[in-house]
Structure 1
Amino acid sequence: MKQFKVQSFVLVLIAFVLGFSEFLIVGILDDLGAQFNTPVATVGYLVTIFAIVYAVSTPFITILISKYNLFAGLLVMMGVFTLGNILSFLATSFIFLAISRIVTALVSGVAISLGLTFAGYIAPMSKRGWLLSWVFSGFSIASVVGVPLGTFISTNFGWRMSFLTVILISLVTMAFIFLSLPRDLKVKESSIRGQISLFSDKRIRVGMLLPMFNLAAIYVFYTYLRPIITTQLQFSIGTLTILLAVFGISNIIGNLASGKLSEGPGLRAMPIVFTTQFGLMMLMPAVFKFSWLGAILLFLVILTMPLINSPIQLFFLQVAENDYPQSIVLASSLNSIFSNFGIALGSATGGVIVSHFGLGMVGPGGAIYALIAFLLVVGLNKMTHKWVQSRHSKA
């Protein structure tokens, strides 16, 4: 039991450092813009670039690496991740920084996919939803501690020190991985064609769009969270750090609620979630005129962001275990892959809206994607219900 707790902590730590690195840009947008004499909207595209590279590279590298020992693969991915952050720390131009972020993005998705595969391997069935929700909470903790800490360090000591903090935590994480995780984990060997057979399942093809449009909706405004707080809602820099921490707590609450949902109604609860998300985002232009009401609204929308994580992750794993066991690692990666497609889509959309219509209109832009997510989950739930009925009738 003690070993399981230690291993669970290590998996959460992996998610934390990956999330810290990925989300850090949101908190230091203004400082990077000032350093490289680049508009904030342009610096915001670092989020888009990272997410696109993350999403496109993850399935290919995951398929290649899943043939080998997953313990060694995880260590190699974390090593390259650390190198990418060292390059960010050393960046002398905006282009250099963008290239360093590409290096980091190439392996971040594979690392969390392997971490989630380890979670499925070490957790008893009764603990799966719990552990998955905590691994995803690692990203939320990164937004609670990492983003405000990175913003504080950047504001007081320079943005390079923020990346140095990520590097140090990454080295500690690699040491914990080496000392605690099982070294014998391999999945059933299969050809590339055998692994991608997972995509022949219509449930998978529809399901993987859900995290994409969920985060597309959120990242229309989340990419510009710092300027929204300081410019639109007119809070001070000191209050900014506090609010980022509070919003991170909201994210953690959402992740833990996600674990509970996966043990109960699962994806059947998501239509209510996306309806709520849509309504809150449509209110943003009116509510953003009032500082504290705007902050409360942001808290509530951010709370909805991770609710889909555990239900959709369990859905992917269950489909793979039942029908495509050779594709377990690939199935583990789908949530993070398509979440990052969503981040890319949302941050790019946010950039267009901010450039042409201003910060106040990011909410309605995100609401369109929340509506699409609602329609997708309604369709997926109907599809899953029919599939269960047909299986029972055959039995």
Structure 2
Amino acid sequence: MKNHNLVKTALVSSLVVVSLVGAGCSKSIKPQERKPAKLIKVDNAVSVLNPMAKIALPQGGGRLLNKTAINKKDVIDLQVAIIDRTLIAVSRSGLVAAYALHGGQMLWSVDIGEAVVSGVGVEKDSGTVVVGTRSGKVVAIDANSQAIRWQKTLPSSSLAPALVAHDRVMVSANDGVIYALSTQTGQQVWQFNAQTPEVSLRGVATPLYLDGQTAVFGTADGRIYAINPEIGRPLWNRRVGRAVGGSQVHRMSDVDGQPLVVGHHLYAISVSGQLTGYDTTTGQTMFTASLASNKSLTALGNLLIGASLDGDVVAFDRITGQKMWENSELKYRKLTNPIAIGNYVAVGDLDGVIHVLDNSGKIISRTETKGRLTSLHAQNRHLYTQTTDGVVNVWQF
């Protein structure tokens, strides 16, 4: 299964550019080069983000895996996590480290000795920190003792942080299987097999803990699945992405962005262009709008905001799905997920620039860091980023 996934990943990596050129385009035709838009100077910039910490992550021992060096051009989204006033991050070469949120000084570190491809999943109550390696190994660390609690090798790796909740470590793997392991021992408790298409985008949606009885997973078959985390029983599923072309590449419908919950409303988006809102109290679809994305959505007041595959930032009414505005100034800049920061929205790009937009879609300020940004995270009026160069930044807003 591992070899199949590697072949599939290589195939998709070479074809995805073609798949985004437009329906009806032959794979034999060289796609038109899409240059990132040049940035326009922001007049009368508003100060929104105040720097708190900048951390250059040290390297671990996982520089080599199966005699193959880590490819520095390989874009991997190593997300950080927060436990109380401590930031947990992991370098690509396998050093998991904890830092004081204020000041950025290192508190402890654990070298797991392998290249890491999925960032930090945590459970605050038990102090469990989980990362995943390229070989498919899931490693659980006790944040209190700073010791490796257990290691478990799965048939496939994952590119998304594990969901750690309800005494379960739930991993949405690249082979289309969701694995649940015991938080205490690492033993497999259950697994759920989603349908696996022959071709899909390289990526996996970060799982979402909805409540004590429900965990939600986005999958490569264009669906979201709700599963009981204790016993693995599927509760319901909804189709989000729909095939829209003749070839396998054009028919990709992955749900790679983490589903978003606001009150009793659930939102999900697919790479094939469907943005769907659901009412969780009735199970009914509220609306379906048009936006193709592999990034998570965010909510700002009554707005639902996403970043398209082409680099448009688009806002919808989160009840009706009506498009409210669209900003196309960041075309082809390989945007991160947008994230609400107070009264504004932030989105990062391939040059490490964070763009801040107001609720009308106007860019009002920019902040720069080093290296390509892959995702943005906000919690307790702090914005967290990690670049592909291994630099973690913390801002207050």
- Provide TM-score, normalisation by structure 1: 0.25
With a CA cutoff of 8 Å and minimum separation of 6, indicate the structure with the bigger relative contact order: 1
Per residue, is there more strand in 1 or in 2? 2
- Provide TM-score, normalisation by structure 2: 0.25
